Structure 1
Amino acid sequence: MRQFRTGDLNKQVGDVTDAASREPVVLTRHNKPGFVLMSYGHYERMRTGADARRAHSVSDMPKEHEELFCEAIERPARGEGYDDEP
């Protein structure tokens, strides 16, 4: 979780809110955590317990997704996927 000082809100409001749109951020005052800033969507999911994100096992995914997943995992072993990425 990223941290910003409360004074950063005035100077870097774009950076702070961009970070908070991705994940909650801690706002510190005098080097002590004081507040948490997060997107409204994250707050609603946390408040209602309606977070639809779930972890799945490979055995549960559709065959075409499993093939794409396995191919992506094998690319680095073949030396691909590092320097050739756009």
Structure 2
Amino acid sequence: MARFTLTDLGNKSGEVVEAAFNGPVDITKRGKRKFVLMTADQFDRLKSASSQRAFRSDDLTTEERDSFLSGLDAVAHEGDRSND
């Protein structure tokens, strides 16, 4: 990840922004990471990914687990058919 200081942000803003097009950029102050600069698209992807939920299979009911496994089987079989 690219890293710039707050001073760099003021003095080299074009370079900092250009780096952000390639991925998130750490902005530091006195050697400590204070901010991360990223494009709006990068932020939107991050935001939508964080709204996803994860569950432990141990926490599912038997019915939920069976439904989930059936769905995985269906997806796996679709992949088998597309390789024919």
Same fold (TM over 0.5): yes
CA RMSD of aligned residues (A): 1.4
Corresponding residue of 2:19: 19
How high is the TM-score relative to the length of structure 1? 0.56
> Which runs of 5 or more residues in structure 2 are unaligned?
51-84
Find the aligned partners of 1:18 and 1:33 in 2 and give their Cα distance. Answer: 19
Count of residue pairs brought into register by the alignment: 50
Deviation at 1:49, TM superposition (A): 1.8
Find the aligned partners of 1:21 and 1:48 in 2 and give their Cα distance. Answer: 19
Is 1:30 the counterpart of 2:36? The answer is: no
Deviation at 1:10, TM superposition (A): 1.2
Is 1:49 the counterpart of 2:49? The answer is: yes
SS in 1 for 2:44: helix
Identity %: 34
Corresponding residue of 2:5: 5
Q: Deviations over 1:38-64 (max 9, x none)?
A: 0000000000129xxxxxxxxxxxxxx
SS in 2 for 1:49: helix
- More helix by percentage: 2
Find the aligned partners of 1:9 and 1:20 in 2 and give their Cα distance. Answer: 12
